[in-house]
Structure 1
């Protein structure tokens, strides 16, 4: 009987191959990875207690491995096949994001591992967007874009064959898994020859730069990869020393003692030489701007109550100062953000007590030697030093932040007004599956950890 490779191992192999390819294609990404590694090493050295908790909760290895990528697809068929490909790697669609409200004509999901064990093995995820052709006002251009997209095939025959084999056999052998990774990697590879002529490219570009990026090429090249840092403000400050130009502001919540959700920054997208069809069987040199490097700092996953407070405060801060695309009011925006977020508690005890965040529970040394009667109160067990809690890392994304990253790397003029039209039902129809609810996922991890603690405490024989 053929031994199958674990989906998490296929995911690890794919993320490593993707990182190597992107470093080769975008050398600045390698410099960024080196910078982040140095900052993380120093942060851990300066915070031994934090390092100890990461080790105790089996999260320390995740710091160097954690990264995500982003890809933009053009058709429902591409999205449905991508779902099947990612499923082979143990990655499933979590969350629905409508970016049209922020001036970007896409809606998205995040393909990622689900469950504490899979996340700890390898947390690689891909933010995957589908172009909203229905938001293009020019009907003729919309039809032209659809026609162009229908002519391309973004997956190799091998990728399709091996995906079907994995589905049929419930897994892949080592040799097949290696071939699968190599074939799927081709979908994410950069192509410097467009599949449109210069005139069509500029028509698409004038409608929206992201539309040109999605429609004009043979495949949906990975547009960024993202290492995780423990000190994003330090990375932001040091990027110029590494000849990397950072975007003006860090997206997400302000600097805090207790990190919440997700903070992101990036280096500006590269202008890269590409060739366009000249209509005479030849090629004409031009340029395209799309690929960049991003950095993320992840904090605690918030409950619906906590997320509601976050969204309210973010909206309030942007009413005071709305960040300009060119970064001209970055300092004023950061000040408004810090002031507004004073209303969000900044210690773990209060965040937990007010039901704002999700936590993972574990027994203390004292708790590992103690037995209790069934039905004991969790707060009392924490107060008695039997159970401790650690924040559950947020593994998902924020629509406003994602749009901010897109816009800063598509150019100052990329933000446009579209009719806000979230359509999760349409997205899920195109996807061929329902997206998972992130709040249910975090609540399940939290409850499972609590059940393990309570079961251990109540089943242990009482000390004589």
Structure 2
């Protein structure tokens, strides 16, 4: 039984995401500009689309639409990853999914820490895409050993944060004062550090191996590298960014614009070149720069079933076989045209997506259903009779190719390198200290539970 004196994990997560947002807006002013633009576009989109407004009112929390939906950090060691898992657990965030980015030229693998219960998602769906550096993919053995030594010597968590995590685990939660101190202490892990822990020469060696390696190894902590609000029309935001003094990346990652959004679309503004200092062997500080932090936006659609995801992956691969987007954006128009043409093969109608078993939906009784004997109907008959409605289940996770596209465009045009594709979920879960939740099984369970609430246990949906 939960101690009523404890602050709920959902509240701690909400407080943490708000504190992170305030800190990042202060550190990266352009991000505040992006947030304001997203809010205006969302208001305009809802004014122009009553059906979208109705659906979001039913399935989402309208007052949180423009708030941050995720952030991202990059960790260097198994110990950091394991401790971060414990930190996020205090906030009701758990590892969902395994992502191998080595296939796209980025030497990391990752998971997403996020709430998993429907009620918690409605309170605050904040998630953090958390990557672990794959030093085993770096060919230079001497550099790898030196990087491992640097990472082993740093401690990214305050003593206060560790003590409060241990206290929360021991007593099953945190009281009000402890919860506030927890948010304040954990926030220190994500702050920007303008003094590197490596010499200029070492930074150059790490940078030459891969820009992301330099970003992870060269600093005292894993500064948050971006935060991401949710937009309801990503194409409008992309189009308006330059007028706000923000330079967007060349293309929107993910599927094309559609009437019925699927999975996840993302774009960002270019990462900032920021002043940092490097300490030489003689102890003197040298001026330099580092590029890592940016602002991102996302537009989320329906979660796809394994069948739907297989179709999505096939169509995306076909698109990229015909036209691979150039890092400098020189073929952006051609790529987007091919993407739109190829994706005509994916149904753009909610009921067709549902009937073909391509996406996950949540089902609920209508007013008519509440006053009738819908429990005696099967699902399709109940829908046809107007007793049950269905709404797309929002995709709460990530796309490796899209994430890599964002990484590469913001780390620089030369950041994409060749690595041997080497997914290793077993090693990642060993370092994490637990297994990750399978997102497909999770979405299927949420859909199944909604069906049972409407028409009992005797029917299933095609999407399963």
2:405 and 2:330 map into 1 onto residues whose CA distance is: 15
Does the aligned pair in 2 maintain the 1:77–1:430 contact within 8 Å? Answer: yes
2:159 and 2:324 map into 1 onto residues whose CA distance is: 47
Aligned pair 1:90/2:104, yes or no?
A: no
RMSD: 1.4
Aligned residue number for residue 147 of structure 1: 149
Q: Secondary structure at the match of 1:195?
A: coil
Does the aligned pair in 2 maintain the 1:187–1:219 contact within 8 Å? Answer: yes
Aligned pair 1:307/2:304, yes or no?
A: no
1:372 and 1:44 map into 2 onto residues whose CA distance is: 32
Shift of residue 57, structure 1, vs aligned partner? 2.8
Q: Deviations over 1:122-170 (max 9, x none)?
A: 0000000000000000000000100100010000000000000000001
Aligned residue number for residue 21 of structure 1: 23
Aligned pair 1:130/2:132, yes or no?
A: yes
Aligned residue number for residue 222 of structure 1: 224
Q: Secondary structure at the match of 2:65?
A: helix
Shift of residue 440, structure 1, vs aligned partner? 0.9
Q: Deviations over 1:66-118 (max 9, x none)?
A: 42000000000000000000000000000000000000000000000001111
2:59 and 2:98 map into 1 onto residues whose CA distance is: 29
Aligned residue number for residue 435 of structure 1: 436
Does the aligned pair in 2 maintain the 1:62–1:123 contact within 8 Å? Answer: no
1:457 and 1:145 map into 2 onto residues whose CA distance is: 57
Aligned pair 1:395/2:415, yes or no?
A: no
Q: 1:270 to 1:58 in 2, by over 3 A?
A: closer
Q: Deviations over 1:296-331 (max 9, x none)?
A: 000000000000000000000000000011111101
Q: For 1:199-218, what aligned pairs fall within 5 Å after superposition? A: 199-218=201-220
Shift of residue 58, structure 1, vs aligned partner? 4.0
Aligned residue number for residue 169 of structure 2: 167
Which residue of the other structure, out of 100, 109, 112, is the alignment partner of 2:111?
109
Aligned residue number for residue 333 of structure 1: 335
1:103 and 1:349 map into 2 onto residues whose CA distance is: 38
Aligned residue number for residue 78 of structure 2: 76
Q: For 1:339-378, what aligned pairs fall within 5 Å after superposition? A: 339-372=341-374, 374=376, 376-378=377-379
Does the aligned pair in 1 maintain the 2:68–2:227 contact within 8 Å? Answer: no
Shift of residue 48, structure 1, vs aligned partner? 1.2
Runs of 4+ in 1 over 6 A off after TM superposition: none
Q: Deviations over 1:216-268 (max 9, x none)?
A: 00000000000100000000000000000000000000000000000000000
Aligned residue number for residue 416 of structure 1: 417
Shift of residue 455, structure 1, vs aligned partner? 4.6
Instruction: Tell which deviates more after alignment, 265-274 or 437-446.
Output: 437-446
Does the aligned pair in 1 maintain the 2:17–2:68 contact within 8 Å? Answer: no
Aligned residue number for residue 37 of structure 1: 39
Aligned residue number for residue 382 of structure 1: 383
Shift of residue 356, structure 1, vs aligned partner? 0.3
Query: Where in structure 2 are there 5+ consecutive unaligned residues?
Result: 460-464
Aligned residue number for residue 461 of structure 1: none
Shift of residue 444, structure 1, vs aligned partner? 1.1
1:134 and 1:326 map into 2 onto residues whose CA distance is: 29
Does the aligned pair in 1 maintain the 2:35–2:66 contact within 8 Å? Answer: no
Q: For 1:247-262, what aligned pairs fall within 5 Å after superposition? A: 247-262=249-264
Q: Deviations over 1:333-354 (max 9, x none)?
A: 0011001000000000100000
Does the aligned pair in 2 maintain the 1:368–1:457 contact within 8 Å? Answer: no
Q: For 1:247-286, what aligned pairs fall within 5 Å after superposition? A: 247-286=249-288
Does the aligned pair in 1 maintain the 2:61–2:123 contact within 8 Å? Answer: no
Q: Secondary structure at the match of 2:132?
A: strand
2:66 and 2:258 map into 1 onto residues whose CA distance is: 22
Query: Where in structure 1 are there 5+ consecutive unaligned residues?
Result: 459-464
Shift of residue 373, structure 1, vs aligned partner? 5.4
Q: Secondary structure at the match of 1:94?
A: strand
Aligned residue number for residue 176 of structure 1: 178
Q: 1:274 to 1:372 in 2, by over 3 A?
A: closer
1:208 and 1:448 map into 2 onto residues whose CA distance is: 45
Aligned residue number for residue 245 of structure 1: 247
Shift of residue 282, structure 1, vs aligned partner? 1.9
1:276 and 1:457 map into 2 onto residues whose CA distance is: 66
Q: Deviations over 1:393-428 (max 9, x none)?
A: 000000000000000000000000001000000000
Does the aligned pair in 1 maintain the 2:375–2:454 contact within 8 Å? Answer: no
